[in-house]
């Protein structure tokens, strides 16, 4: 099999909007996690696996199986994350009113406060990025991402 020139390979990767979106999201997430962990007064440290779960939680709660599907991981992996976050007091499991055998995962009050603190860190990062790329570009990016989110199933 013929190998592609490394420079050409990187150029091809950079032509993909989705590839750049994945990379930028990962880099912002890494910076946010580092800042949160530097400021944390307790341990263990927050990990990317935790932050991947957070956007999928809501006030009503989400079934673990649905979380696993959304994250593309096993139910056991989600269960392990949920157990860890429960021990920290960040999430809780409640009975599903639609199915008494199932559990829903949702933020606790402490978890909601922690998420708000995390969003404040993201706000700091966004302001720093806005200073680097310009306020107009940052607003355009925000508008484009909102439209993209609405367009996706």
pLDDT confidence of 103, banded at 50, 70, 90? very high
Q: Which domains does the chain have, with CATH numbers?
A: 47-107 (1.10.10.10)
pLDDT confidence of 22, banded at 50, 70, 90? very high
Q: Look at residue 100 in the predicted model and tell me its pLDDT.
A: 83
Decide if pLDDT at 43 tops 80.
no
pLDDT confidence of 34, banded at 50, 70, 90? very high
- The answer to whether the beta carbons of residues 51 and 57 sit under 8 Å apart is no
3-state DSSP percent of the chain in helix, strand and coil, to 5: 70, 10, 20
CA distance 9 to 19: 13
Beta strand ranges found along 37-131 (DSSP E): 62-63, 91-96, 99-107
pTM over 0.85: no
């Amino acid at each position: 099999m013929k190998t592609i020139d490394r420079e050409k390979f990187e150029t091809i990767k950079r032509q993909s909007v989705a590839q750049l979106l994945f990379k930028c999201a990962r880099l912002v997430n890494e910076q946010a996690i580092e800042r949160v962990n530097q400021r944390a007064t307790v341990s263990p440290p927050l990990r990317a696996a935790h932050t991947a779960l957070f956007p999928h939680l809501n006030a009503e709660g989400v079934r673990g199986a649905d979380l696993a599907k959304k994250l593309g991981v096993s139910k056991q992996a989600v269960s392990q994350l949920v157990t860890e976050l429960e021990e920290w007091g960040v999430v809780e499991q409640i009975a599903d009113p639609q199915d008494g055998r199932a559990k829903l995962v949702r933020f606790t009050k402490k978890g909601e406060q922690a998420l708000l603190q995390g969003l404040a860190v993201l706000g700091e990062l966004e302001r720093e990025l806005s200073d680097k790329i310009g306020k107009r570009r940052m607003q355009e990016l925000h508008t484009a991402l909102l439209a993209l989110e609405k367009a996706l199933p």
